[in-house]
Homo-oligomer: A and B are copies of this chain.
Amino acid sequence: MKTSRFRRSNMLALAVLVCLSERPMHPYEMATLMRQRGKHESIKLNYGSLYTVVQSLQSARLIEPKEVEREGRRPERTVYRLAEAGQIEMVDWLSQLISTPVKEYPSFEAALSLLPALPPDEVVALLDVRCLHLEMELARHRSVRQVVAEHELPELFWVEDDFASAMTDAELGWTRRLSQRIKDGEMEGVEVWRQLARERGV
């Protein structure tokens, strides 16, 4: 009986594999480590998911319990280690993530696709507010960079932040342009749009 192939949905599972590729540890420790290294900024981390994910990795034979410890009367903690199949899976999964982009559904794109439901003037106002938020986000990224620069942390350990920052920057540029083009009617079909809103009685 072949165990049904592991479902590569939750990135947290990959993070677990990577943690264990460093050394055996228990789930709570992985969480602490990820927090320390700021990985939770790029990978959604919450305890509920963490323990489920560890379970599913175990039942897929990618990791295995090494020992069960306990200090005083605190809850027991199970230390896991990476299985060989887990090492393979980790490299394979990570490689695929890098080499092959997947279609994702950012909520802003969704909102844009429903734009005709709001009147153009309101949209302009909302877009401008968004720009303010994005600018604040960029400032935050810059300050992060400042900090890592002071600690002389090599670039390797903050590429993800640089990426996020670059994407935010691109989004800001695009959003500004859109807002501007609606404002001065440069965008084709703004008339139709305003009409549409009026008909709908918004």
Contacts and interface: CB of A to CB of B under 8 A. Distances in A.
A39 interface: yes
Main secondary structure of the interface of A (DSSP, over half): helix
A39 to B, nearest CB: 5
A174 B167 CA distance: 9
Interface stretch (A53-61, A67-75, A118-126): A118-126
A115 to B, nearest CB: 6
A35 to B, nearest CB: 13
Given A105-B43, A174-B166, A202-B91, A110 B97 contact: yes
26 contacts: A14-B114, A15-B110, A18-B114, A21-B200, A41-B113, A90-B117, A91-B118, A94-B111, A95-B122, A95-B126, A98-B123, A99-B126, A99-B127, A99-B129, A101-B108, A101-B130, A104-B104, A104-B106, A109-B163, A112-B159, A155-B189, A156-B188, A162-B174, A166-B174, A169-B170, A170-B170
B11 A110 contact: yes
Given A42-B113, A91-B202, A101-B171, 11 more contacts: A14-B114, A41-B113, A44-B105, A98-B111, A109-B164, A113-B160, A115-B160, A155-B187, A156-B187, A156-B192, A166-B170
A48 to B, nearest CB: 16
Interface of A: 11, 14-15, 18, 21, 39, 41-44, 90-91, 94-95, 97-102, 104-118, 122-123, 126-127, 129-130, 133-134, 137, 154-157, 159-160, 162-164, 166-167, 169-171, 174, 178, 187-190, 192-193, 200, 202
